Amino acid sequence: MPEVALRLTRRNHNAFVHLLAALETQGYALGDILVSKSLEEIIRAKPKIVLYSFYSQEVWDVEREVKLLKERTGAILVVGGYHATAMPRHTLRMGFDIAVIGEGEEVLYELLTTLGRTGYKVTKDLLNVKGLAFYLGGEFTFTGFAKVMDFSKFPPYPEALRLISPMEISRGCPFACYYCQTPYMKGFRMRHRPIDQIVRYSRRMKDMRYITPNAFAYGSPGAILRLDKLEALLKALQPLRKEGRRLFYGTFPSEVRPEFVLPETLELLVQYTDTTRLAIGAQSGDDAMLKAMHRLHKVEHVVRAVELALEYGLEPVVDFIVGLPNETEESQRKSIELMKWIMRKGGKVRAHYFMPLPGTPWARCKPSPLSDEMKKFLGKMAAEGKIEGSWGMQIEISRRLQRLIEEFYEEPFSYHGKVLDICSDQKFITQAEVGTTVNAPRKL
Ligand code: SF4
């Protein structure tokens, strides 16, 4: 029976596919790991270590699983991901034994080989493995934030297991939106997989889809457009399209920032891809809210992006967050107006309710209640099938997250050290105090 088991879920699937590839590249025999979506199968296997990864929104379900795993396997429970990095003390309190802090590719290999050597126990040998938090002799111990400077040294998919997922082609984001965990976990500078590697492994996908914070920023540090690199990537994937694969770009599971939606980027999309829906992050119809959330674009960029997408024959699918901290009825009215306009024009809207996420500057901010007008609007649009998104369900998750963060708040570990804590003392810092707004990406 394998001594290591990995609990695969719908939400951690993509991350684990990439991590397994990294383990394999470093020489770890994947045949020694039971990779399973079935908790029962893992329990029956009685492994010595169980690997786990989850998001803050899943805490309550995961707690139940952790209890079962502890009681019925006695395994060392190792966990990574956004929640573990931002709230390691809380994560350990949930019942996990070791939290991986930061980017996991190298840590996991070091950790598994160390645990194998030391009889699957938490010992001081783990102090030599950077990127961990655990209790040693009752003391909370942190060995440093793990960073993988060049994530492309690890291929995206393992050879020994038939696992596939959309491919992570870029990592990190300079925009630092206050509600988003990505830049604080992966850094402010975008890093990219090289084109030849993307092409080589894209062969394994039938529909080629990619994971990136902003698909149009491929090849750039993040805030500028590198049309030459974007075109080179899309061009290089053409032989695979000719073999019958479809290429989807700037759409599920990634999206694009509105100010990157330009005639030049859309021309590339139309010429080189099979994309029919363009996923655009708008988040609010109120410039004041966009400024407060550090989006660094304006409503006019969203309007232009939607108009351009339609002009190029693409269906814009536009994301909004409602119930933002300090969002007034008037702000919500502006979002409603923009959503209505998008739908009238022929686009789609996806609505999400604000969820305070650990490790972000807005972690301690309170969601705002939805105005009656907003509730009525979203309800009517959802009933008519005109609006997508899980805003209804997210209201309850948001409340639970808020309570959890209030009760167990800890200063998060992050890629760049201290994370701004905008709403502690319920003081809301205006954007004027912390940054500026840019209008459009510079092109190189
Ligand atoms: S929401 Fe998007 S643009 Fe903003 S920080 Fe996150 S990944 Fe970057």
Measuring CA to CA, which residue among 216, 316, 196 is closest to residue 264? 216
H helices of 129-259, where? 182-186, 195-202, 227-236, 238-242
Whose C-alpha lies nearest to ligand 1, atom 6? 180
Its pTM stands at: 0.93
Which amino acid does the sequence have at 317?
A: V
Average pLDDT of span 440-444: 57
Distances (CA, A) of 161 to 36, 382, 396: 12, 40, 38
Tell me if residue 309 falls in helix, strand or coil: helix
- For the segment 385-441, what is each residue's pLDDT rounded down to a tens digit? 889 888 889 999 999 999 999 999 999 999 998 999 999 854 444 433 433 344 456
Q: What are the residue ranges of CATH 3.40.50.280 in the chain?
A: 4-142
Neighbours of 207 (CB within 10 A): 10
pLDDT of residue 100: 98
CATH domain 4-142 topology:
Rossmann fold (3.40.50)
Q: In testing the pocket of ligand 1, which one of 175, 254, 415 has its CB within 8 Å of the most ligand atoms?
A: 175
* Ligand 1 center to 77 CA (angstroms): 31
- Does the beta carbon of 258 lie inside 6 Å of ligand 1? no
- For the segment 63-107, what is each residue's pLDDT rounded down to a tens digit? 999 999 999 999 999 999 999 999 999 999 999 999 999 999 999
- Does the beta carbon of 175 lie inside 6 Å of ligand 1? yes
**C-alpha–C-alpha distance, residues 213 and 191, integer Å:** 11
Q: Give the CATH class of 166-443.
A: alpha beta
Q: What are the residue ranges of CATH 3.80.30.20 in the chain?
A: 166-443
**C-alpha–C-alpha distance, residues 22 and 106, integer Å:** 7
- Does the beta carbon of 279 lie inside 6 Å of ligand 1? no
